[in-house]
């Protein structure tokens, strides 16, 4: 679990997982996140990848790259207390 609190600016957060089951990235009280990149390579199964962003003024780019995955059961992007979008496993964008 990677938790970042009370950060003025995060230019890039890159998380690389190889041969892992799952991870949770939580960012709270960020004024600006220019890029959040999650790379997963050669993963047999990822049961859940959840990115939570709360009290975020601006998120310019959120990139999720998955290569050579046998199964991804859920990919959820939840943003609260901002403009906010939710990306579910069906790749539908729902405004909250």
pLDDT digits (tens, 9 = 90+) for 45-74: 555 555 555 545 555 555 555 554 555 555
Calpha distance 83→67 (Å, rounded): 30
Q: Output 76 or 87, whichever has higher pLDDT.
A: 76
User: Per-residue pLDDT for 90 more than 50?
Assistant: no
Q: Cβ(91)–Cβ(66) under 8 Å? A: no
**Mean pLDDT, rounded, for 71-86:** 49
* pTM of the predicted structure, to 2 decimals: 0.22
Residue with token string 């390579």 = 41
pLDDT-above-70 percentage for the chain: 0
DSSP annotation string for 10-24: ES-EEEEEES---EE
């Amino acid at each position: 679990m990677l938790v970042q609190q009370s950060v003025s600016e995060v230019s890039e957060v890159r998380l690389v997982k190889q041969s892992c089951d799952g991870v949770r990235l939580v960012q709270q009280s960020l004024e600006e996140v220019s890029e959040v990149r999650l790379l997963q390579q050669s993963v047999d199964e990822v049961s859940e990848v959840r990115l939570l962003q709360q009290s975020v003024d601006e998120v310019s780019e959120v990139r999720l790259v998955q290569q050579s995955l046998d199964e991804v059961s859920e990919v959820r992007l939840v943003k609260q207390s901002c403009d906010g979008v939710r990306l579910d496993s069906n790749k539908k964008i729902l405004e909250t």
